[in-house]
Amino acid sequence: MDKKDLQIAHELQLSGRLSNQELAERVSLSPSPCLRRVRQLEARGVIRGYTAIVDQSALGYPITVFVRIALQRHDTRTVAEFERRVRAIEEILDCFLMTGQRDYLMRVVARSLEGYERFIRDVIHTIPGIGSIDTSFAYGVVKQARALPARG
C-alpha cells in the first residue's frame, strides 16, 4: 500500500458515505483513479465492508461489559467449541484471544443488569470448558475510535 491507498483507507474510515468525487478531492486524485484504487483495496480485503455507527443506548443496549474468560482446558476441541459458540452470540461484539491470566476478553452489550445476569446464566454458562468468568462494567467512555491511525 502506498501513501494514497493509506489516505483513501483513512478517509473512508472517517466517513464511509463519501461519494467518489468527495473522496478523490480529499486525497488529491481524479475520480477515475480514486475509484480504481478503492476497488483494488476492496478486492485485496483491505476494505472489508461499510457500516453505520449506531448509538447502542438508542437501540436498547445501554450497558457495556468487559468479560474475561479463562478456560479449564486448552485442548483443541475445547478451544474450538468455545470460539464457535462465541461467534454465534450477538451480544458479544468483540472477543480477543489474550495473553496473561485470562484466555479471552469480550466486549458485551446488555439491556440491563438483570439482562446481563440472564446472559451469563443462560448463555455463557452453557458453553463447556469455562473455568472462570470475571466481569467489569463500563460506566463511561473516554475515547472510542473507529479509525486506525493515519500515519503510514
Buried-exposed string 88-118: b where 16+ CB fall within 10 A, e elsewhere:
eeebbeebeeeeeebbbbbebbbeeeeebee
* CB neighbour list of residue 123: distance below 8 Å, 6 or more residues apart: 89, 91
- CA of residue 7 relative to chain centroid, distance: 22
CATH number, span 3-43: 1.10.10.10
Confidence band of 17 (pLDDT split at 50, 70, 90): very high
pLDDT tens by residue, 89-147: 999 999 999 999 999 999 999 999 999 999 999 999 999 999 999 999 999 999 999 89
Global pTM value = 0.88
Sole residue written with cell 463519501: 18
Q: Dihedral angle at the C-alpha atoms of 35, 40, 42, 47, nearest 10 degrees?
A: -90
Q: What cell was used for 150? A: 493515519
pLDDT tens by residue, 38-47: 999 999 999 9
Q: Of the candidates 107, 101, 115, which has an alpha carbon nearest to the alpha carbon of residue 141?
A: 107
Q: What own/partner pairs with CB < 8 Å and gap ≥ 24 does 141-146 have?
A: 141/64, 146/13, 146/14, 146/53
pLDDT tens by residue, 54-88: 999 999 999 999 999 999 999 999 999 999 999 99
Q: Is 63 within 8 Å of 110 (Cβ atoms)?
A: yes
Q: What kind of fold does domain 63-138 have according to CATH?
A: Alpha-Beta Plaits (3.30.70)
Q: Is 20 within 8 Å of 34 (Cβ atoms)?
A: yes
- Domain map (residue ranges) of the chain: 3-43, 63-138
